[in-house]
Amino acid sequence: MEKPHLLIIRESFARSIISDAVTLSLGVGIMLPGYFLNSAGMQWLGAIVFFWIVLAYAGAKRRTFSIDEARAELDRIAADMTAKGLGK
């Protein structure tokens, strides 16, 4: 079975800032219950989970495309599928 393809069109600067702010809020939100409950263990667990999330996000191979690059990539994928007998 073919692996699904995901094409990301370049993000705007504002959208990138919003994405980073949401990630930071997630980190604070994960560690905050431990802070309010005065539980160092919960704070550390929140920090570790947040660190894993950041690593997973950074490690994801996300290549962004311009509109023209995305069209060319879609054409290449369609040609590959047609050559394998999977496309129309």
Domain that holds residue 23: 14-60
Residue 87 in contact with residue 5, Cβ under 8 Å?
no
Q: Is residue 76 part of a domain?
A: no
Say how far apart CA 53 and CA 47 lie, in whole Å. 10
Taking the model in full, what pTM does it have?
0.54
Does residue 18 fall inside a structural domain?
A: yes
Assess if residue 80 is contained within a domain.
Answer: no
Residue 44 CB partners (closer than 8 Å, separation 6+): 34
The answer to whether residue 49 sits within a structural domain is yes
Q: Is residue 82 in a domain?
A: no
The C-alpha angle 15, 49, 52, rounded to 5 degrees, equals: 65
Structurally, the chain folds into a number of domains equal to 1
Specify which residues 75 forms β-bridges with: none
Q: Mind listing the pLDDT tens digit for each residue in 64-76?
A: 777 888 888 888 8
- Residue 65 pairs with which residues in a beta bridge? 9
Per residue in 33-62, pLDDT (tens digit) is 989 999 999 999 989 998 888 888 777 666
In a domain? residue 23: yes
